[in-house]
Amino acid sequence: MADTGKGSDRTRQRERRLPVRAQTGPYVVNVEEGKTYLWCACGLSKTQPWCDGSHEGTDIEPIAFEPPLTAEFHMCGCKRSDNKPFCFGNCRGHDRRAQSMSDELF
């Protein structure tokens, strides 16, 4: 049976939709200084906000995160932050509000 290419079309469609918005808003996590964490950049991981390897077959790679101190961090859940892997408020419009405020000031 000849390959119709449907599988590759589905793969391309899946890749175009990435990153997937895992949730709207941040994941609030406690992390330890001296440990390296892999932040999920594709949104497919079942262990959000951390990578579980679900990005395999995509062009997206996780981002290594080494916290400078043991503390609570807000990690991006929408995967569209301007300051990955940290939440920057993009999914809630904070980036647009900040831009419009700076436009008004200058």
User: Tens digits of per-residue pLDDT, 35-44?
Assistant: 999 999 999 9
**Does pLDDT of 29 surpass 90?**
yes
So what's the pLDDT on residue 94? Answer: 59
So what's the pLDDT on residue 12? Answer: 52
Query: What integer is the mean pLDDT of 9-33?
Result: 79
User: Tens digits of per-residue pLDDT, 44-90?
Assistant: 999 999 999 999 999 999 999 999 999 999 999 999 998 999 998 88
Phi, psi of 90 (to 5 degrees): -55, -40
Q: What is the pTM of this model?
A: 0.72
Token couple for 60? 């997206």
Token couple for 36? 């390296």
Nearest of 19, 34, 35 to residue 77 by alpha carbon: 19
